[in-house]
Amino acid sequence: MLNYNHTIKEEKSFQGLQMNEVKPVMKLIVRGKKREFLSAIGKSLNMVLPTKANTSTQSEKLTALWLSPDEWMIFSNGVIKENTNSYETETLLNKNISKLNLGAVVDVTDQFVRINLKGDKIYDLFQTGSPFNFNDFKGKIGSVTQTILAKIDVIIHNQNKNEVNLFVRRSFSEHLFAWMNDSASRL
């Protein structure tokens, strides 16, 4: 992460809802179809990729989100060092996946912004701008969905009860955060 011009500069807090950006966080997109690809990832990271739709898996340091039958996002649970843009996990996967032609590994650390939402009003906020039915999502910790929020593509990950990670493309993040503020102020 070498981009210091963060678009989201403050934490916002409302009754029953807190929002802030978690940064810097390593994010990778991995793609592949072969069985060897899945087992190579499993061996390299010591965690299995979720193969069931709309789910995620977690290890001590990393979380893997299901995005599509051949696409996953891996991100670091905690924050990483700010002054570097080379990551251990990426180097490891490049060696074990890309170099062996098993699949693709792309660093999307600077493309996506991770916003953490906490509180019991999260889904009331989402309801105001998303066509997705969150009823089942709410109850299952680890659920993942890609959907639209205020006409913006987002990835939403149910991290814990009343705690959600939201990934949005950097260029949309400022607008989305402003929209969420506005919407949350009227909940």
The residue (of 14 and 132) whose beta carbon lies closer to another protein is 132
**Cβ(79)–Cβ(22) below 8 Å:** yes
How many CB atoms are closer than 10 A to CB 67? 19
**Cβ(129)–Cβ(119) below 8 Å:** no
Least separation, in Å, of the C-beta of 185 and another protein? 25
Least separation, in Å, of the C-beta of 70 and another protein? 9
Site of interaction with another protein (CB under 8 A): 53-54, 67-69, 71, 131-133, 145-148, 153
State how far the Cα of 23 lies from the Cα of 100, in Å rounded to an integer: 31
The residue (of 17 and 164) whose beta carbon lies closer to another protein is 164
Least separation, in Å, of the C-beta of 145 and another protein? 8
State how far the Cα of 154 lies from the Cα of 172, in Å rounded to an integer: 10
Least separation, in Å, of the C-beta of 146 and another protein? 5
DSSP structure class, residue 131: -
Smallest Cα–Cα separation from 153: which of 138, 140, 166?
A: 166
